[in-house]
Every structure is written in structure tokens, then in C-alpha cells.
Structure 1
Amino acid sequence: MSKTAIILGATGSTGTELLKLLLADDRYEKVKLFSRNSVNVSHPKVKEYLIDLFKLEDYAADFTADVVFCCIGTTKAKTPDENTYHKIDYGIPVAAARLAMVNNIPSFIVISAVGVSKDSRFFYNRTKAEMQEAVLAQHIDNTYILQPSLILASRADNRLGEKIGAAVMTLLNPLLWGNLAKYRSIKASTIAKAMVWLDNNSYDKQIITSDKIVQLGA
């Protein structure tokens, strides 16, 4: 059966890789993109909805599919205001999960981050943890939360600090074993492959750490 997929965050590093995979995959007949900016991709599968993502509920009638891939996320550097940060990293994924539940979409796959905790002293980690809890509370049949470590990708807006961090993590990766393996950096393309795999296979865990994402993305 041909599927319809929704991508939130298709202009980001992982969303871009995911879109490429879905367009090349015959299992997917239509790909709906809900975003603020166009991906500038002309393809018969693609239907774009250029909207205010903070008002996602206004587009409930169009939010129908077989799977939602949520690749939404920002950083403290890009979004220093905590209120706006919370609206992006918590508000958008949770609104999408609620719409998926109401519209009987059976699969919801969302990107979180490694090391999140509601008890963390870091606002970023607390926000992601709250998002995970709210998404799981929707009880969508096939819910998967991916917790990647540092995501490696070619970005036009890469800052010097991000480039240095990526270089350092690449050197450290071989030293991270056992319980530390989940802190290895990971390619955006690997995360995208894992997301597609999860949509088409059964997996026994809902929360998937970076080391397991690498295995699924292989």
C-alpha cells in the first residue's frame, strides 16, 4: 500500500535527508511538507503547506497521513529567548502529535536529543524531556522518539563553534564505548534512514538512543 507521509522541519539537516529518501522510496506516494519556508523542490509527490507552525491546529483538515516525521528543532544560539525556544521544541512537536492522534495517524516519529531529563539544570534538556512525555501521552500506536547526540551535517549557517565541536566529536567517537556509545556524533543521513526503517518495521523500544539509531540507519 502506498503511504502518505508528513514532514515537519524538511528544511533542516535531517529533514532534508529524509525528504530525499521518501522521494526515492516507492512505498511513499505523497509527502506533505508543513513548514515556514519552501524547500524549493519540484516533485510530483510533494505538497507544501507554507504556514505559521505555531498555529498548526488551524490546518487540521490537511494534517492527514500514514506517518508523521517530526524533525523540528532549534538551538540556544539561534533562539536565545526561552519562551520562543519552548514554543518551537515543545509546542510544535506536541501540537503535531495531538493532531496525529485526533486524525488517527498510526505512526509518529520525532527527533529529541541525547541526555534529556526533566530534572536537568539545562533548559534545553528539560524542554526536550517535557516534549517526549507529552508526545507519549497521546498514545499513538507507533510512536518512536529518537535521541541523537551531536548531529553532523553540512549547513550553510554552520558557526565556528559547531564546526570545532563536530571535529572534536569525530576524534572522540572511537573512544566512546559501552554506555558512552550513545554520545557519539551521528550523521543526519543516518538519522533519516533510521526514521524510514522505523516506519516500515517493528521495534521494541519507543525511545531510541544515538547508538541504536546508528544500527537502524545502517
Structure 2
Amino acid sequence: MKTALLFGSTGLVGGHVLNQLIQNNNYSKVKIFVRSSIQINNSKIEVIQTDFNNLEKHKEEIEGDECFFCIGTTKKNSPDKNEYQRIELDIPKKVARIAKSNNVKSYFFVSSGYANSKSSGDYLKYKGLVEEEILSLGFPQIGIMRPSFILGNRREFRLGEKIGIIIFKLLNPLFIGPLRKMRSIHSETIAKAMIKIANDNIDQKIFESDQISDLIK
């Protein structure tokens, strides 16, 4: 029986990861790291109220078998450039380093399609830099998920994403061959794929959007 560490349990993908971990009998404990205390009535769950400005304080708690990192933000929600960098770059790199130092065996990260450390845009650049950090740390098992446009029920209304859903529904059938990785993907699909990778010992580190979908067909 395994212990999972989950960062981003209240988010679009992370919420589905939490449900999958609760339902999966391979896990006896799920530690969720959250900014504010929340109530979850499940014997598997350990809620850890986390100071993300001082992750070293939680070093002894970031121990387990597998770490699932699903935290992310937007420029709209984090307009301050330094705060945006902290959430998208600094925190995931720090969590990965602590997890590795504690001999966590597996690390799973929700990145983005076309992530690239040399990108001119902050979002894709930060995702790429985190990917490079995770790969350099040498976890025995790594699952870097590169989804395209993510579908799902978000808590807040985002007009741009509503428009995006309509556009991708029209374009998805046109994305064939090498372009399949551009197809939109549901947040639950990503979560299910992460759990499958963790438990089937799949020997691959980076998964493009179409490969994520293929995993759970």
C-alpha cells in the first residue's frame, strides 16, 4: 500500500486526481497540501495546511511513495509577475527537490503542450524549466503530462475558455496525425492517466495530449 502526496487537490485536474487516489486500493494514505484548512471526511486523507512561502518547514511531511503536482495559475489570477513566477516555477521546483531528497520514488507533473524552457512566453518557459528540473533530479519514475486545451468544470467563469471550448469542438476532428496532440482533453482523463502511469510502471517520461488520451482508452 502506497502513500501519495498531492499538491493542487482543489484544482481542475487535482480534484480528479484526489478522487482517483481515494478510489484506488493501492493507496492507504493521501497527503494533500493546501493553503487553507479544509474538511474531507475520508480515512485515507491527511490534510496538511501548508506555508508555500516556506516549504522547507514541511520537509518531514513531504514524504511518501508518489508525488502528484497539479498546482497552476493564470496571469489574471496572479497579475504580479513575481507571484506568477513563484507559483508556476519556484514552488514546483522546490517541491520536486524536497521530494527527491526524501526518496520519493515517483513524480508526476501537469505541464503544458509545447512547454519549452526557451519559449518567449512566461507560461511555456516556466513549464519547460520545471520539466528540466524534474528530469535532472532522476526520480525512478516520472510522468510529465503535456495536455492541450483542458476541458472541465472550473469554479470560476472564464469567458476565454468558454470560447475556446467551442473552437476546439470544431477543430478537434481536423487535428490528425502529428497534430493529434493539439486536441482538447478533459481534466478527468489527465487524472486517470496519471494514476495509470503510477501503477502500471509505464516506461515513458513525457506524455503529449494525444498519448494521455490513448492511455485510458
**Alpha-carbon distance, 1:48 to partner:** 0.4
1:141: which partner in 2?
140
1:211: which partner in 2?
210
Q: How large is the Cα RMSD of the aligned pairs?
A: 1.2
Note the residue ranges of structure 2 that are not aligned, 5 or more in a row. none
TM-superposition CA deviations, 1:16-67 (whole Å, max 9, x none): 1111111111111000001113454211100001112232221011111110
Mapped to 2, the partners of 1:209 and 1:38 lie a distance apart of 34
Larger displacement relative to structure 2 (198-207 or 17-26): 198-207
Relative to the length of structure 2, the TM-score reads: 0.96
Number of positions where the alignment pairs a residue of Structure 1 with one of Structure 2? 217
2:14: which partner in 1?
15
The answer on whether the counterparts of 1:152 and 1:187 sit within 8 Å (CA) in structure 2 is yes
Corresponding residue SS for 2:54: helix
Mapped to 2, the partners of 1:204 and 1:27 lie a distance apart of 19
Q: Which amino acid aligns with 2:74?
A: T
Corresponding residue SS for 1:69: strand
Mapped to 2, the partners of 1:10 and 1:74 lie a distance apart of 13
2:156: which partner in 1?
157
The answer on whether the counterparts of 1:11 and 1:37 sit within 8 Å (CA) in structure 2 is no
Mapped to 2, the partners of 1:13 and 1:141 lie a distance apart of 27
The answer on whether the counterparts of 1:6 and 1:33 sit within 8 Å (CA) in structure 2 is yes
TM-superposition CA deviations, 1:134-165 (whole Å, max 9, x none): 11111111011110011101012021111111
1:29: which partner in 2?
28
TM-superposition CA deviations, 1:156-180 (whole Å, max 9, x none): 2021111111221122111111111
The answer on whether the counterparts of 1:116 and 1:128 sit within 8 Å (CA) in structure 2 is yes
Note the residue ranges of structure 1 that are not aligned, 5 or more in a row. none
Mapped to 1, the partners of 2:162 and 2:52 lie a distance apart of 29
The answer on whether the counterparts of 1:5 and 1:31 sit within 8 Å (CA) in structure 2 is yes
Mapped to 2, the partners of 1:27 and 1:118 lie a distance apart of 35
Identity of aligned residues (%): 39
Relative to the length of structure 1, the TM-score reads: 0.95
Mapped to 2, the partners of 1:88 and 1:153 lie a distance apart of 21
Larger displacement relative to structure 2 (130-139 or 4-13): 130-139
Corresponding residue SS for 1:62: coil
